[in-house]
Amino acid sequence: MMNVVHINTGAKPKVLVTRRWPGAVEAQLSASYETTLNRSDTPLTPGELRDALKTFDAVLPTVTDSLGPDALDVAKPTTKILSNYGVGVSHICTESARKLGLSVTNTPDVLSECTADIAMTLMLMVARRAGEGERELRDGGWTGWRPTHLVGTKVSGKTLGIVGYGRIGEELARRAHHGFGMDVVVYNRSTVAPERLARNGARQVESLDALLPLCDFVSLHCPGGAENRHLINGRMLDLMREDAFLINTARGEVIDEAALAHALMFESIGGAALDVFECEPRINADLVQCDNLVMLPHLGSATREAREAMGYRVLDNLGDFFEGRDPRDRVI
């Protein structure tokens, strides 16, 4: 059960923050609105979310609040805006939100660099076998240097395929091309402006089928949700080179995890590195067995800087909304 603390009273809009946020942002929210904080930091149940929609003018959810048709099944909501903390909004059912007349905003831009940094971290970790090395060392199994020990794959100068050339994809391209001399190939559902590609020496190909066989590394930066569910399935994994690596910092559902576990176990690809999972925080038991897999617990935006900036971006959106302007990051 959520342990809530009410702060302030008066005619200010009533705002619910569903998880703990950085202290400075919670303080600012409490100063600006009649704010309810979730001190227990446990995710809300669908029932609690429905109650919240009948009580608060604004609900500030995160990826751990599943706002599907069930949680959004409220006849006459008091809530007018879901101001999401995070850029991805695939946990919010667009159709139900539209039906209820809810505005929905997200927090783009401010986490792009940090998420691209994590994608680069994962590329390096999986190619250079950093996870395996750390496990060996901590387990007391390191017997010392030798020429054949934990030999990995060179990253610099290789070909990187980016699936989804939005802000995060472009930031990764910048790092990979200018920092690591990588050749960047892009698959994106719409045509990317030539100058955006040129900045990172990138070229766009027409399909995922065309992209995958070209790449030493494939990094996913497309939205999650129904439209991209299992975009990377067994057939797509078969199109990857047998020494190529798959990186996912987007959303877990973009990859068919059972197919990935199969590809990793049979070494039909070189390895994978995941920051996001299909059923977070539960991890597919087969994946855990795979040594050629690096896993992080959804850390893409987990820096002090990004997490504060995400909070202030929510404050910007709320300010716009309650002062009668169109929120800068409106997605619905």
Residues that bind ligand 8YV (CB under 6 A): 62-63, 85-88, 111, 300-301
Q: Which is nearer to ligand 8YV, 91 or 158 (CB)?
A: 91
Q: Which is nearer to ligand 8YV, 68 or 234 (CB)?
A: 68
Q: Least Å distance between CB 97 and ligand 8YV? A: 16
3 state SS of 163? strand
Q: Which residue is nearest to ligand 8YV (CB)?
A: 86
Q: Which is nearer to ligand 8YV, 88 or 327 (CB)?
A: 88
Q: Which is nearer to ligand 8YV, 56 or 269 (CB)?
A: 56
Q: 221, 251, 307, 313: which one is catalytic?
A: 251
Rounded-to-integer distance, Cα 86 and Cα 129, Å: 30
Q: Which is nearer to ligand 8YV, 172 or 269 (CB)?
A: 172
Cβ partners under 8 Å of residue 133, min gap 6? 150
Calculated CA dihedral for residues 95, 168, 276, 87, nearest 10 degrees: -40
3 state SS of 104? strand
- Please say if 19 is a catalytic residue: no
Q: 91, 129, 167, 298: which one is catalytic?
A: 298
The candidate with the shortest Cα–Cα distance to 44, out of 12, 8, 79, is: 79
Q: How far apart, in Å, are the Cα atoms of 215 and each of 41, 123, 159, 269?
A: 41, 13, 5, 11
Rounded-to-integer distance, Cα 287 and Cα 275, Å: 13
Rounded-to-integer distance, Cα 219 and Cα 160, Å: 7
Contact 13, 303 (CB under 8 A): no
Q: Least Å distance between CB 145 and ligand 8YV? A: 38
Rounded-to-integer distance, Cα 101 and Cα 52, Å: 16
- Please say if 178 is a catalytic residue: no
Q: Which is nearer to ligand 8YV, 33 or 85 (CB)?
A: 85
3 state SS of 289? coil
Q: 95, 227, 280, 305: which one is catalytic?
A: 280
- Please say if 203 is a catalytic residue: no
Strands annotated E in 11-62: 14-17, 34-38, 58-60
Type of residue found at 244: A
The candidate with the shortest Cα–Cα distance to 173, out of 142, 219, 141, 213, is: 219
Type of residue found at 123: M
Rounded-to-integer distance, Cα 155 and Cα 124, Å: 7
Which positions are catalytic? 251, 280, 298
